[in-house]
Amino acid sequence: MAEHPMDHARRAAALPRSNRQRTPACRVRPSGIATGRSARLSLLGLVAVLTITLAGCSASTSGAAAGPSASPKGALASPTSDRPSVPALSGNVVVFAAASLTKTFTDLAHSFESAHPGVHVQLSFGGSPTLAQQIEQGAPADVFASADQAVMAQAVKAAAIAGTPQTFATNVLEIAVPVGNPGHVTSLAAFADPSLRIAVCAVQVPCGAASAKVFAVAGITPRPDTLEQDVTAVLTKVELGEVDAGLVYRTDVAVAGAKVLGIPFPQSGAAVNIYPIAQVAHAPNPAAAVAFIDYVRGPIGRQALAQAGFGSP
């Protein structure tokens, strides 16, 4: 039987602590982590348990997803309000995050773990659409941080998200040129110069869509030599000096450090990328998910994001 999260929340308040977090039939959490006694299972064991649980679960998923709007509220409210001032979080919290967040979230995960001993943050980075797809297919994630609002909206529509996504960062495009700026690029107009080697993202991926928007606003018809599959590929080609200019995110320029030179341009405001974050429906560890989201949106998270070149929403 698939237990309704509401039942779980109600019972959680009534039962002694040791039983409170018992996994409902369709939750994905090994019992060793739920009790918090043995801190972590081996990865292998975890995978095995997850696989079995997921397999047993698939038939009842549609039933559990029937009341998505009602369930998360209950599930979130009780444990949070119930908790003492130092929340006794435990277990794994699995965070799926957009690739552009790799460095920032890795740092934040470490400081979050120091602040909450007993919690282990597992990070999985990838393209936002890919991650959303995995979550919709039942990947055992607690938190989803997307680089794209449309992708998040799609995930919400697919009932893969609990509650309302919160925006936590923004990002804008910047021109990246190799060290020494061999193409003497100063503005977006360089992207129309056929004598220069130019890389931009393909229009099918988010950075490409954003690029198209700024070109339209600037009235420039770009003459790219390659339409890359993601922003990292553009950055690689700039770093290696194979292109004279590429259009990437400000945060990518920050990550690349001295290897590339960033050139801001006024039209970048036309395509501000907004990053939403949300708890995943049926998150195995909802309490830790909420805490992590709060942490990212809190002062420490904001500072780290700003340092990496993100804007605040």
Partner 1 sequence: MRRRQPGASGVPVILLVPALVGLAFLVIPLLGLLVRTPWSSLPGQLAAPGVRSALQLSLVSATLATAVSLVLGVPLAWVLARSRVPGRSMLRALVTVPLVLPPVVGGVALLLGLGRRGVLGQYLFSWFGISLPFSTAAVVLAEAFVAMPFLVVAVEGALRAADQRYEQAAATLGADRWTTFRRVTVPMVAPGIVSGAVLCWARALGEFGATITFAGNFPGRTQTVPLAVYLALQTDPQAAIVLSLLMLSVSVLVLVGLRGRWAGGLA
C-beta of 197: minimal distance to partner 1 in Å?
Answer: 7
* From 95, 141, 199, 291, residue interacting with partner 1 (rule: CB under 8 A): 199
Note whether 236 binds partner 1 by CB under 8 A. Answer: yes
C-beta of 136: minimal distance to partner 1 in Å?
Answer: 12
Binding mask 123-152 for partner 1 (x = CB under 8 A): ----x-x-----------------------
According to CB under 8 A, which residues from 56 to 75 bind partner 1?
Answer: none
According to CB under 8 A, which residues from 159 to 198 bind partner 1?
Answer: 197
C-beta of 104: minimal distance to partner 1 in Å?
Answer: 24
What is the distance, to the nearest Å, from the Cα of residue 28 to the centroid of all Cα atoms in its chain? 20
Note whether 101 binds partner 1 by CB under 8 A. Answer: no
Binding mask 213-232 for partner 1 (x = CB under 8 A): -----------xxxxxx---
C-beta of 239: minimal distance to partner 1 in Å?
Answer: 10
C-beta of 224: minimal distance to partner 1 in Å?
Answer: 7
According to CB under 8 A, which residues from 239 to 268 bind partner 1?
Answer: 240-242
Q: Which is nearer to partner 1, 80 or 226 (CB)?
A: 226
Residues contributing to the site for partner 1 (CB under 8 A): 127, 129, 197, 199, 202, 204-205, 224-229, 233, 236-237, 240-242
